[in-house]
Amino acid sequence: MILSDRTIKKRLQTGEIKIDPFFEEQLQPSSYDVTLDKDFLVFDTTKTQIIDPRKNITQAMRKVISTEEDPFILHPNEFALAATQEIVGVDGKHLVVLNGKSSLGRLGLLIHATAGFIDPGNELRITLELFNVATVPILLYPGMKIAQVVFEEISEHCERQYGHPDLKSKYYKDQGVKASFMHENFIENNDN
């Protein structure tokens, strides 16, 4: 069941979901508009010529900090990681779905490649996987509305929330943009 604006406000009061900071004017009929933080990660092509998912790519990326006066420029066919300003969280009976905003989609901006799902029990600044499918660059300003989150209630409280030690949750309670930790999956498989 997707939560309505009224239910979102009620669940914020009970602590079942979290949006910090929360501004009533960003609440939509069945979603909440989240805004763009100032930090971005991009692949440094002077250091990387191929991505190997088995290897830690943190050193292959460089951080770019944007400002209102100097926004981030996302060029055509370019990929960048960013995060939301808001910390969004859910208890063990809710999940979050991240969706793009229609107005930005019409400019050619995709806000997630695959990671549009926040598991029950997580609370974080959501990572955005930005891609420009337009034929011209797009300016991205810190604080601009970048995406919307939809809250859903699952059938029952989950047995193991994200962050449970058995799950080895890589992005539990992230507070900023981070590179992929895919290489850890290969390390785990080699230990068996």
* Residue 157 structure tokens: 């409280």
Domain that holds residue 178: 5-191
**Which amino acid is it at 111?**
I
At a CB cut-off of 8 Å and minimum separation 6, what does 125 contact? 37, 83, 84, 85, 86, 87, 88, 174, 175, 176, 177
Distance, in Å, from the CA atom of 56 to the CA atom of 42, rounded to the nearest integer, reads 15
Output the domain CATH number for residue 112: 2.70.40.10
Nearest to 73 by CA among 4, 156, 132, 150: 132
Given 69, 123, 129, 184, the catalytic residue: 129
pTM over 0.85: yes
Nearest to 111 by CA among 34, 21, 29, 26: 34
Taking only the tens of pLDDT, the chain with its 192 residues reads 999 999 999 999 999 999 999 999 999 999 999 999 999 999 998 888 888 888 888 888 999 999 999 999 999 999 999 999 999 999 999 999 999 999 999 999 999 988 788 999 999 999 999 999 999 999 999 999 999 999 999 999 988 877 666 766 666 666 778 776 777 778 655 544
Active site residue 153: no
Vertex 108 angle, CA 102 and 114, to 5°:
80
Number of domains in the chain: 1
Q: Specify whether the CB–CB gap between 114 and 154 falls below 8 A.
A: no
